[in-house]
Amino acid sequence: MKQIWSPWRIDYIRGAKPADCVFCAAPCAQSLEDTLVLFRGQYSYVMMNRYPYTNGHLMVIPYSHVAELTEVPPEVQIEMLQEINMAVQALREVMNPQGFNVGLNLGASAGAGIRDHLHFHVVPRWVGDTNFMAVIGETNVIVEALESSYLQLKPVFERLCSGPNGDPFRPEPGAPPPNS
């Protein structure tokens, strides 16, 4: 069995947490680049994971602060699935992974680092991405800076979400998302 290791994440797990929910605050930030938000939809958004398991680790997050999938209305679930598809397509274009892990962790025992605000993970995978550095050296090699990955992914998301009438939802920076 191969495993993907990210021992540096323990600093986040054991560290002090912000008083406010980072997933509630991120899409309202003045600078989406600073919060690594790639796309804002009507009910949910896509953001890069600041503590990734591997390069290109994205998350799809509803604006609503809910912990359980059963609390997410059907229209939000549909939009989130569309954004997961968009994330997979963007990652294929930019990073050319050989596969993906897509899913969510419900509850602390399932591995949810932020268990009060549901979010899906979209993690690109490559054959051999678990190697001696992670297994023996307890070190994961992230080969590209988050900001560089962001700058490559952002224009792809902009292209993928633009239709004949433009983006389905693009509020002004700093504006609260709908239904907040």
Q: Residue 167 domain-assigned?
A: no
Which residues are within 8 A (CB) of 36 and not within 5 positions of it... i.e. 6 or more apart? 26, 47, 48, 49, 50, 146, 150
Q: Residue 16 domain-assigned?
A: yes
Q: Residue 24 domain-assigned?
A: yes
Q: Residue 1 domain-assigned?
A: no
Q: Residue 129 domain-assigned?
A: yes
Which residues are within 8 A (CB) of 78 and not within 5 positions of it... i.e. 6 or more apart? none
SS3 71: helix
| Range(s) of the domain holding residue 105 | 7-161
Q: What is the side-by-side order of every strand in the sheet holding 99-104?
A: 37-40, 44-48, 58-62, 120-125, 99-104
Q: Residue 109 domain-assigned?
A: yes
Residue 57 among the catalytic residues? no
Per-residue pLDDT in tens (0 to 9) along the chain, 180 residues: 555 566 656 666 677 666 788 999 999 888 888 899 999 999 999 999 988 878 899 999 999 999 999 999 999 999 999 999 999 999 999 999 999 999 998 888 877 778 899 999 999 988 876 544 444 445 555 656 778 888 889 888 888 876 544 444 444 444 455 544
- How many domains are there within the chain? 1
Q: Which residues pair with 37 in a beta bridge?
A: 47
Q: Which residues of 122-160 are buried (b: 16+ CB within 10 A; e: fewer)?
A: bbbbeeebbeeebeeeeebeeeeebeebbeebbebbeeb
Which pTM value belongs to this model?
A: 0.73
Q: Residue 41 domain-assigned?
A: yes
Among residues 57, 65, 117, 119, which one is catalytic?
A: 119
CATH number at 33 reads: 3.30.428.10
Q: Residue 172 domain-assigned?
A: no
